[in-house]
Structure 1
C-alpha cells in the first residue's frame, strides 16, 4: 500500500508523494545501530589489547621512607612484635613449625636481607624430608626491613608456583628472625655450571653430564616458560635475566631465580633507577640503558644475551669491549657475531631478540615455539664445545660486574 503525503508546510514529500520521514527515520536508526555496535566492538578490542599488552614499567628514583610505629606516647619499642602481629593471615598456611626443621643450619652466604642457610625439613605436603634453602633477616633488622621481608614472603606465595621458577616451601613468622624456605637446586648457579663444563669435561663429582646443543635449547625454553609465566599471569618483568640468576639441577632442569627486581615491581609498579643500575650494562636492552619505559620485551633482549652465555659455556657478552663501549656500538647496529660451531637458526633467534625497537622483538610464546622446533633437530649426542679459553680471574672485569 502506498502512503501518500499531505503537501503542507509541515510535511516534506518526495516526487512520488511519499513522506520522507518514513524513509529517513529507519535509515538513521539503522546507521546509529551500526555506529553503536562499531564503538562497542572497538572498545572491547581496545580493552582486550590493554589487558594483553606487555606491562610498562617506569624507571623512577625512589627514596625509602622511614617506617615508624607511634602512639600517643611516642615511638613504640616493640615495633617488631607489632609488625609480626599485623602480618598477612594467609601466611599462616605456609608456616613450618620449628620441629619440622631437621638437623643444624649450614651457612651458605649472606644475602640482601641477611644470612642464607641450608637444612632439611619435613615438607608441608607430606612428601617427606627434603633439602631447603633458608633466607633470613639479620639480627639488627629495622622495622622497615622486617616489613619488606614479610612482603617478600607474600610475593613468593603468589608468584613462585611454576615449575620453571624456584618454589616456595614454607616460612617461619611466629618468632624472630623470620625465615623464607625455598627449594634447594642441586646443581647451583647456571653460570658456574657452564664454567664447570669447560674445566672438567662435563664431569661433576664422577657423574657425566651430557651438555649438548639440545641441552642449550632445553634450558633456554625452560627459562622462557618461567618468564612467560611472570608476564602473562602476573604482569611482571624479571629485570635481570642472566645465567647468574638461573639455578639448575643435575638433570639440567632450570629454575628462574634472582627475583629481586620483579619483587620491586610487584610492590610499587615501578622500578627504581638505583636498583635497575645494579644490572650490568652488557645485559641491558637499549631502552634500559636510556632509562626509558620498559616492558617484557626488555627482558627479551636480555634473554638473547643469556642464550649467548649458554652456547659459549659462560663467556661474558661483548668480550672484546669495555662496558661503556657497548651502547655506542649498538647504536651503530653492531651485534655480537655467531658463536663458534652453532646453528644459524639459534643465532637468528638471538638476533631477533636484539632488535633495537622493542616491538620488533619476539614475545615469549614465539620464543618457546621456536625453541621447541630447534630442540627437535638439535644434536643431543655430541658434547658442546667452544673455541675460546676463558680466564675466570678476569671474568667480572670483562662482564662489567661490580
Structure 2
C-alpha cells in the first residue's frame, strides 16, 4: 500500500548576471530568455541554457545600463544631479564638465550655465565656454599726418577657449558737418586688415587730421559666430583731430574722449633763460644712466651665461641648474679624447673593444647634455630630466639614466651599458630608442667612467601607473575601451618588431610600456633582454631577478625563454590593461603559481572585458608554446576588435587625457598648481626598470605587491625568493 508519493525534480535557480535576470526554470528545459534589470537596455537578447543538472550554461547576449544610469553591482542606478552618462555603456556616471550642470537625476548630458555655451561640434564631455572679454591696454600712435598705429593686448578672459580673433571698426566726425558719427570714408584702409585678425596691432592709413575718430576693437572666438559679439568683448578709443597733442585712453565698452588742449599764446610765455641749461644737464644725466645700466646688464648676462664645456648638475627637485664644483679640465685630460674613449678602453676590461665598437655610433659629447631635476631612482642609479642639444642646435627634452655615485665595479658598468648596447639599433615608433651615450671620467675612488644613457622623455610615464591613476580618480577621466585596445595594438607592433629582429624582451609588462604625449605606447626596459638570432630560445643560467607572474610555464619550470614566452607575457599585459592596472593572480604566492598553471587555471576574465578580447588573451596562455599566436597575428586581431567599436578621434582623446593630467596636478586645493605638478612629476616620466627599483615608502599597496612578483633565479634552475 502506498502511503505517500514525493516528487523530486532538478531546477535552475533564478539569478541576475551582467544586468540580465533569469527566472527559475526546470532542469533540462533548454534555452531561456532573460530580461534586463530596471534602468538597463539590451545590446542583444540575453539567453542562457538551463541544463539537465540544474546548472546554467554560458550567457549569450547581454544588457548595459541606459544613458543616465551607472552600474552598481547587478543594478543600474540613476546618475545623481551634477553627473551624467551619455551612452549605453557599463561605465560610471561622470561629473559634469566645467560651467555646466544637470537639473535632475538620470541626465544624459549637462546643460551650460547661464552665459556659457557649446558649439554644435563640441562633444558633451567638453566644458561650456563663452565669448572673450574686451582687449586691454589699447594705445594709439600717430606715425604721420594720415597714418595711425593701433596696439592692444589680448583679453584677460578668453572665455575658456584658446582661439581669439579681432576686428577693428572705425567711425568719424567731420569738423564741417554736424555732431553725428559716420562710417569712415572709403579711402581709410587697415593694414593688414580689419577682420579676422590674429595679431594685436594694425596700421590705419588715409586719416584726416581735421576729423575726430572713434575706433572699436572687438575680440571674438568661435562662439561669437553663433551668439554674437557681446558688449563686454569690445574696447573703444577716441582720437581727436591732431591740431593738438594726442592724449589717448581706452577702456572696454566705455568711450573715453580726449579733451582739446589749446596752447597758450606766444606773447603770454615768460622767457626762462636758465631753462635750456637745465634741459641739457638732464639729457646728459639720462645718457649716463642709460650707459651704466647697459654695462651692468652686459656684465650680469656674461656672468650667468652657461659655458657649453661646463657640466651642469641639479641642485634641487625644481628646474634650477648650477655649475659642477670641479676644476676645469686641463690640456692633459682633454687630450684623452672628446668622449673619453681612449682611457675608457683601458678601464672597461677585456670586453671593452666589442662594447665600445657597438656603442661608437651612439657616443655624443657631454657638453651637448644639460641635466635638470631628478625624476626617480633605480638599481643602477637615478633618472634625470634633461635637455639634449643635437648637432643641428635643436634642443630636445630627454630622460637621462645615470649610474649610482660611489664605488661600483666593472661588472656593474658593463651591465648598465649592455641595455644601451641592445637599444642602439632600435628604430620603431613603438619601441623606446636610444638617443645617445656619454662617457666621462668618474670619481677618484673607482677611476671608472660615469656613463649617461640618453632616452626620449615620455610625458605620461609608464602605462600601468597611468591607468591606475585613472581608475582611482587621481586623473579625473575615463579611458575608453578604444584607447585600451589601441595601447595593446601599439605594444603588439613594438614586440613584433623586436621578435623579427631576434630579440627576447623577457620582462614585458604594463609597467615597462611608456606612454608618450601623443598617447602612443612604446615598449621599454630592456634590462633582461637577449638577442637570440642564432637560436630560437634562450635558457637562463646566471643569477637574475625575473617577473614571475608574467612568465610562461616553460620559463618557470625550465628557465627557457622564446618569442612565445614573450607572447604569454603579452597576454598578461593585456589583462593588466583591461583590468586597469590590477595585479595579476591576486592572492597567489609566487611559489604557488606554477602548480596553479599546471592544473589548467588561468587569469579570470576581467570585469568589462568582452568575451572576444578574453579569448585573445587565452590563446596567449596555451600550455603548448607552438599553439600561441605571433605578435603580428595578435596585432591584426586586436585591430579587428577595434574596428567594430565607434571611432574615437585621436585629437579628442589627447585633449581629454591631457586635460585630465592637468586637472590631477592641480586638484589639491592646499597647494599651488605649479608646486603640485612638481610633486607628481615622477609619475609622468620615463622610469628605470621596476624590477630593479625598491618600493618607495609612499607607493600604494598594488605597487608594493608588484615588487613581490619577482623571484631570484639561480643557475641551478630553481627559484628562491629575492630580498
TM, length-normalised to structure 1: 0.68
Superimposed CA distance per residue, residues 214-252 of structure 1 (whole angstroms, 9 cap, x where no aligned partner): 11111111111111111112x121101111111112432
Structure 1 residue matching 2:617: 3-state secondary structure = helix
Instruction: Tell whether the 8 Å contact from 1:298 to 1:358 is kept in structure 2 after alignment.
Output: yes
What corresponds to 2:433 in structure 1?
167
What corresponds to 1:217 in structure 2?
485
For residue 394 of structure 2, the aligned residue among 120, 128, 137 is 128
Structure 2 residue matching 1:166: 3-state secondary structure = coil
For residue 107 of structure 1, the aligned residue among 374, 387, 400 is 374
Per-residue deviation, 1:337: 2.2
Structure 2 residue matching 1:168: 3-state secondary structure = coil
Structure-2 change in CA distance of 1:323 and 1:178 (3 Å): closer
Tell me, yes or no, if structure 1 residue 192 matches structure 2 residue 459. Answer: no
Instruction: Tell whether the 8 Å contact from 1:221 to 1:371 is kept in structure 2 after alignment.
Output: yes
Per-residue deviation, 1:200: 2.0
Structure-2 change in CA distance of 1:180 and 1:212 (3 Å): same
Question: How do 1:40-59 residues align onto structure 2 when only pairs under 5 Å count?
Answer: none
Instruction: Tell whether the 8 Å contact from 2:539 to 2:560 is kept in structure 1 after alignment.
Output: no
Aligned pair count reads 309
Superimposed CA distance per residue, residues 103-147 of structure 1 (whole angstroms, 9 cap, x where no aligned partner): x432223333333222111134x3821211112223423233334
Per-residue deviation, 1:271: 5.0
Per-residue deviation, 1:283: 1.2
Structure 1 residue matching 2:525: 3-state secondary structure = coil
For residue 352 of structure 1, the aligned residue among 583, 594, 619 is 619
Question: How do 1:27-46 residues align onto structure 2 when only pairs under 5 Å count?
Answer: none
Question: How do 1:112-261 residues align onto structure 2 when only pairs under 5 Å count?
Answer: 112-124=379-391, 126=392, 128-138=394-404, 139-158=406-425, 160-173=426-439, 175=441, 176-200=449-473, 202-203=475-476, 211-233=479-501, 235-261=502-528
Instruction: Tell whether the 8 Å contact from 1:132 to 1:181 is kept in structure 2 after alignment.
Output: yes
- Please, which moves more after superposition, 291-300 or 239-248? 291-300
Q: Which has the higher contact order (CA 8 A, sep 6+)?
A: 1
What do you get for the CA RMSD once the two structures are aligned?
3.1
Instruction: Tell whether the 8 Å contact from 2:471 to 2:580 is kept in structure 1 after alignment.
Output: yes
Measure, in 2, the Cα distance between the counterparts of 1:324 and 1:150. Answer: 32
Measure, in 1, the Cα distance between the counterparts of 2:434 and 2:534. Answer: 18
Measure, in 1, the Cα distance between the counterparts of 2:593 and 2:414. Answer: 39
Structure 2 residue matching 1:188: 3-state secondary structure = coil
Measure, in 2, the Cα distance between the counterparts of 1:315 and 1:150. Answer: 32
Structure-2 change in CA distance of 1:399 and 1:356 (3 Å): farther
Superimposed CA distance per residue, residues 294-340 of structure 1 (whole angstroms, 9 cap, x where no aligned partner): 21111111111100100011111122433333322221211222211
Measure, in 1, the Cα distance between the counterparts of 2:614 and 2:393. Answer: 42
Per-residue deviation, 1:266: 8.5
Instruction: Tell whether the 8 Å contact from 2:506 to 2:561 is kept in structure 1 after alignment.
Output: no
Instruction: Tell whether the 8 Å contact from 1:119 to 1:131 is kept in structure 2 after alignment.
Output: yes
- Please, which moves more after superposition, 361-370 or 141-150? 141-150
Per-residue deviation, 1:267: 12
Give unpaired runs (5+ residues) of structure 1: 1-77, 384-390
Structure-2 change in CA distance of 1:164 and 1:330 (3 Å): same
Instruction: Tell whether the 8 Å contact from 1:212 to 1:380 is kept in structure 2 after alignment.
Output: no
Structure-2 change in CA distance of 1:224 and 1:116 (3 Å): same
Tell me, yes or no, if structure 1 residue 333 matches structure 2 residue 619. Answer: no
Tell me, yes or no, if structure 1 residue 378 matches structure 2 residue 645. Answer: yes
What corresponds to 2:546 in structure 1?
279
Runs of at least 4 residues off by over 6 Å: 264-269
Instruction: Tell whether the 8 Å contact from 1:265 to 1:271 is kept in structure 2 after alignment.
Output: no
Instruction: Tell whether the 8 Å contact from 1:282 to 1:399 is kept in structure 2 after alignment.
Output: no
Measure, in 2, the Cα distance between the counterparts of 1:105 and 1:266. Answer: 39
Instruction: Tell whether the 8 Å contact from 1:282 to 1:326 is kept in structure 2 after alignment.
Output: yes
What corresponds to 2:177 in structure 1?
none
Instruction: Tell whether the 8 Å contact from 2:549 to 2:709 is kept in structure 1 after alignment.
Output: no
